[in-house]
Structure 1
Amino acid sequence: MGKIEREKKTIKLMVEIYCKKKHDMKNGELCEECQELLEYAHKRLSYCKFGENKSTCSRCPIHCYKKDMKEKVKEVMKFSGPRLVIYNPIELIRHALNK
């Protein structure tokens, strides 16, 4: 799996954790707001200028997210990041090593 697909998997997991805990997500479905955020993040990753040579978005010199979406992603990551220890520790380690 390439870096882009791995990043997509990681952000999906983080959004799912966030939506489940904050928006009472049921049956594995995301609320409209979280689904929109996930689709936006996946789109930005698909069109990443650096492709498979990218680092994590937080270390990127180009900020391709709109300001409001950037704030939402930060909130999701701040909430879900520490919880990856419980939900998917291997993904947490991969993400941390990519920094």
Structure 2
Amino acid sequence: MERELKTVGIMIDMYCRHSHGLDQRCGDCEELFEYAAQRYLRCPFGKDKPVCAKCRIHCYHPQMRDKIRAVMKFSGPRMIFFHSILAVRHLIATRQEPPGSTGTKKSAPPHNT
């Protein structure tokens, strides 16, 4: 969880620096980080928390979800260049099955021709 908080903090910093031209987080970006931190700390999965994109529980308010998506869309591709170890660890985490999933993919229904 600590690694995820560090990663999201770095991503928000990168986004804020680019979008708002500040060397430190602006008020809106700090609010987003605090919100994300609270969501992580209150996650019912605890240390087994999956990455948010794979989670079956969507705990972000829709407005905050839109904000964090914008941050991730901007910062995600840049993470590999500026914070490669965190980026690789996050990519590995996205490959892991979330808690409570069966681990098997459902097959598509047969295609009738």
User: Under a length normalisation based on structure 1, what TM-score does the superposition of the two structures give?
Assistant: 0.93
Q: Percent identity?
A: 43
Residues 1-99 of structure 1: pairs in structure 2 closer than 5 A: 4-26=1-23, 29-99=24-94
Counterparts of 1:58 and 1:47, CA distance in 2 = 17
Deviation, 1:46, is 0.5
Unmatched segments (≥5 aa) in structure 1: none
Relative CO higher for 1 or 2, CA cutoff 8 Å, sep ≥ 6? 1
Secondary structure in 1 aligned to 2:77?
coil
Give the CA RMSD over aligned residues: 0.6
Amino acid at match of 1:21: H
Counterparts of 1:20 and 1:85, CA distance in 2 = 17
Displacement over 4 Å in runs of 4+: none
Deviation, 1:14, is 0.3
Higher helix share: 1
Unmatched segments (≥5 aa) in structure 2: 95-113
Deviation, 1:54, is 1.0
Counterparts of 1:21 and 1:85, CA distance in 2 = 17
